[in-house]
Amino acid sequence: MRIVTRTQPQEVANDFPATFPATLARIYRARGVAGPQELEYKLTSLEHPKQFFDIQNAAKILADAIEQEQRIVIVGDFDADGATSTTLGILALTAMGAIEPQYIVPNRFEYGYGLTPEIVKLVQELEADVLVTVDNGIASIDGVAAAKAAGMKVIVTDHHLPGDTLPSADAIVNPSHPLCQFPSKALAGVGVIFYVMSALRALLTERQWFEKAHIRRPNMSDYLDIVALGTVADVVPLDANNRILVQQGLARIQAGKARPGILALLEIGGRDPSRVKATDLGFVVGPRLNAAGRLDDMSIGIECLLSEQVMLARSYAEQLDLLNRERKSIESDMKQQAESSLAELESGTDLPYGMCFYREDWHQGVIGILASRMKEKCHRPVIAFAKADDDTLKGSARSIPGVHIRDALDLLAKRHPHLLTKFGGHAMAAGMSIKIEHYETFAKAFDEIIEEWVTPEQLEATIYTDGELAAEDFSLEFAEQLRVAGPWGQAFPEPCFDGEFELLQQRIVGEKHLKLTLRDPQTGLLVDAIHFFCDLSVWPNTAQNAKLVYKLDINEFRGQRNLQLLVDYIEPIARN
C-alpha cells in the first residue's frame, strides 16, 4: 500500500486569515479552497438556471401543460438518484398545480435501464401528454422516438454523458450536453430536475399563474433535503455548487424539516437527524433506498419519500431495511465467489489490466456493488456481469482514477461494433449489455484497452492522506471542527491522517472489528481506535507498533464523549 500526503496546489491562493485553524486551512487548500469566502454555502451563491441549454424550453412545455391541465408522467431510474429525482419532480409539479402527475420507474428485471419503447407503451396507458425523464434519457434514442411518434411532448433531464447521437426530444436539460454552458458538470440527476423545477416556478411566477390559480407559490428550498440525499447517494463530485446543495439540504434535515421518509430511514439506521452528516446519507439512507431498486421495485423507495404520514413512512422504511439486509447477504456470497476467482487468477499469470467477473447465478441488482468491492481489492477497472435472460448479460463497471470507463467502452464499441448491445455512464461507473456468447471476447478486448491506457503506478493501491497530525490536534474540539467542516464526499474527501503508533492493547469485538489502545511515541498521548472489518488473518498481531491511516471521530456512549480514531488502514511494523 502506497500512502501519499495530499499537496496544496500552487495555483490555489492562501486567503485564510491567521486566526483560522492552521490544520483546517491546510486541509481545505489541498482540496482547492483558497479561503473562508468559498465556504459560505449560501443559496444565493448557486449557479443560475438560465445557464442551462434548453431549460427555458422545458419550463415552457411544463408551464403550458399545467395551465392546460395536461397529464404529465415522469419516467425515473431505479437507483437513489432516480428515486429522489422522481420524488422531487412529483412533489414540485403537484405544488405548482399540475393535475395528478404520475411516475413510472422501469423494473430492472423486466425492462432494464432507461426510456425504452416498451416503457413508452406503459406511459401511453396513462394517457400522458408530456413525458419527462429524470436521471436517464440522454441515450434513449428509440424510446424518445417512440414517445414522439405517440404524440407526446418529451423533456429529457439527465446528467449522464451523451453519445454521438442525441435523442429527438422537445427539450434536453443536461449539464453534459455539448451546447450547455452550465458551469457545474457534476450535478446529479436530482440536481438537474431541481433546476428545471426552479425554472418552471420562475416562469409560472412571470405568468402570474399562482395568483390566478390561488396556489401558494412553493419554496424550492423545501426540496433541498431530497437534493442532498440524491447527490450524495449518487457519489457525484462535490464541487462548489453541489456542496451548497448538500449543505443546505443537511441544514434542513438537522432542523427537523426533512421529508418523513428521510427521517424514518435515518431513524432505522440509528442516526440522529439533528447531527446528520453527508456520510450518513451516503452510508445509511442511500443503501436502504437503493436496495429497493436492486432487489425489488424502486416504487417502494419513492413512496417512502413521497409519504406525508410519519407512520406510513416508517412502514416503508422498515421494508427498505429488510431489503437492504437481504442485499448484504447476497453481496457477501457473490463477493466470496469473486474473490475465489481472483485467487485463482493470482496463482497463475499476471492479473488482467481490466478485469471481468461473471457467474450464471449472480444477482444483476448487486453487480454494481460487487464491481466496486472488487475494484477496491485488485486496484484496477472491474466489470461484474450477471445473466439478464437466456441470451444477454448485464454488466456494471467501476473504474480507478485516470481511466474514464465510459470512454473506454466507447472505444471498445468502435473497435468491436458487434460486442456491446448498449452502454452508458460516467468516468468512474458505467453499465452495459452484451450477448452471453461474446463474454470471453469482450473480456479480452476490455483488458487490451485498459492495458493501453494505464501505467503501473495507477494499478498500485494508494491512500491519500492529509499527513500527520500535530499533538494539539488530537482533541475533541478539532474532531468537532472537522465534523462540521464539510460536507465531505466524492472529490472533496473527508480528512484522514497517517502516523505510527505503539500498540498497547488490541482485541476483536463484534467478531470482525479490531479495538485498539494506542500511544503516540512522540508525545505519549493515549487514544482509543477501532478498525471495522479487519483482516482476521493478520489481527490481532504480535507487533508492538503499527502504521495507521485514520479519521478523527467522537465516540458518544452513555453521555460520555471521547476522542477515538476510525482506522481506514493498518499495517504492523516489524522492529529489528
Q: Structure pTM? A: 0.91
In-domain check, residue 18? no
Contacts of 285 (CB under 8 A, 6+ apart): 229, 233, 262, 265, 266, 269
The CATH number assigned to the domain holding 537 equals 2.40.50.460
The CATH number assigned to the domain holding 396 equals 3.10.310.30
> Which helix H or strand E contains 414, and what residues bound it?
helix 405-415
Question: Do 439 and 542 share a structural domain?
Answer: no
Rounded alpha-carbon distances, angstroms, from residue 91 to 27, 64, 115: 38, 18, 21
DSSP SS3 for 394: strand
pLDDT in tens, 368-390: 999 999 999 999 999 999 999 88
Question: Do 487 and 416 share a structural domain?
Answer: no
In-domain check, residue 295? yes
Helix axes 286-295, 80-95, angle to 10 degrees: 100
% of the chain beyond a pLDDT of 70: 99
Alpha-carbon torsion, ordered 11, 486, 371, 547, to 10 deg: 80
Alpha-helical runs (H) found in 75-115: 80-95
In-domain check, residue 20? no
In-domain check, residue 14? no
Q: What is the CA radius of gyration of the chain?
A: 25
- Residue where one domain finishes, among candidates 319, 340, 359: 319
CA separation for the pair 347, 351 (Å, rounded): 9
Question: Do 482 and 455 share a structural domain?
Answer: no
How many residues does this entry show for the chain? Answer: 576
CA separation for the pair 361, 502 (Å, rounded): 46
Q: Is the N-terminal amide bond of 9 cis, ω within 30° of 0?
A: no
pLDDT in tens, 194-218: 999 999 999 999 999 999 999 999 9
Question: Do 111 and 207 share a structural domain?
Answer: yes
Q: Give the three cell numbers for residue 482.
A: 472537522
- Residue where one domain finishes, among candidates 403, 430, 459: 459
- Residue where one domain finishes, among candidates 426, 459, 492: 459
Whether the Cβ atoms of residue 152 and residue 104 lie closer than 8 Å to each other: no
| b/e per residue 207-244 (b: at least 16 CB within 10 A) | eebbeeeeeeebebeebbbbbbbbbbbbbbbbbbbbbb
In-domain check, residue 423? yes
pLDDT in tens, 293-311: 889 889 999 999 999 999 9
Q: What is the pLDDT at residue 425?
A: 85
Question: Do 485 and 369 share a structural domain?
Answer: no
Whether the Cβ atoms of residue 131 and residue 155 lie closer than 8 Å to each other: yes
Number of domains in the chain: 3
Q: What is the pLDDT at residue 205?
A: 98
Question: Do 468 and 454 share a structural domain?
Answer: no
Question: Do 133 and 82 share a structural domain?
Answer: yes
- How do beta strands 560-573 and 545-557 pair? antiparallel
The CATH number assigned to the domain holding 246 equals 3.90.1640.30
Q: What is the pLDDT at residue 516?
A: 96
Identify the residue whose cell numbers are 407512520. Answer: 311
Identify the residue whose cell numbers are 472505444. Answer: 411
Q: Give the three cell numbers for residue 483.
A: 465534523
Q: Give the three cell numbers for residue 170.
A: 422537445
Question: Do 427 and 291 share a structural domain?
Answer: no
Question: Do 474 and 439 share a structural domain?
Answer: no
CA separation for the pair 495, 466 (Å, rounded): 6
Question: Do 526 and 566 share a structural domain?
Answer: yes
pLDDT in tens, 162-196: 988 999 999 999 999 999 999 999 999 999 999 99
Domain membership of residue 467 as a residue range: 463-573
Nearest to 266 by CA among 228, 219, 235, 211: 228
pLDDT in tens, 119-141: 999 999 999 999 999 999 999 99
Q: What is the pLDDT at residue 406?
A: 93
- Listed as ranges, residues in the chain with pLDDT below 70 are 348-349, 575-576
Nearest to 378 by CA among 339, 406, 332, 347: 339
In-domain check, residue 254? yes
Nearest to 304 by CA among 288, 281, 326: 288
Residue 160, Cα to own-chain centre: how many angstroms? 13
Contacts of 350 (CB under 8 A, 6+ apart): none
Q: Give the three cell numbers for residue 31.
A: 482540496
Residue 471, Cα to own-chain centre: how many angstroms? 35
Mean pLDDT of the chain: 94
Q: What is the pLDDT at residue 348?
A: 65
Q: What is the pLDDT at residue 576?
A: 60
Q: Give the three cell numbers for residue 518.
A: 494506542
Contacts of 426 (CB under 8 A, 6+ apart): 160, 161, 405, 406
User: For the residues of 158-201, what is the DSSP string, one character each?
Assistant: --SPP-SS----SEEE-TTSTT---S-TT--HHHHHHHHHHHHH
Largest CA distance in the chain: 83
Q: What is the 3-state secondary structure (H, E, C) of 445-504?
A: HHHHHHHHHCCHHHHCCEEEECCCCCHHHCCHHHHHHHHHCCCCECCECCCCEEEEEEEE
Question: Do 143 and 115 share a structural domain?
Answer: yes
Identify the residue whose cell numbers are 482506522. Answer: 567
- How do beta strands 560-573 and 526-531 pair? parallel
In-domain check, residue 4? no
CA separation for the pair 250, 276 (Å, rounded): 7
In-domain check, residue 344? no
CA separation for the pair 167, 377 (Å, rounded): 38
Question: Do 455 and 473 share a structural domain?
Answer: no
> Which helix H or strand E contains 250, and what residues bound it?
helix 240-254
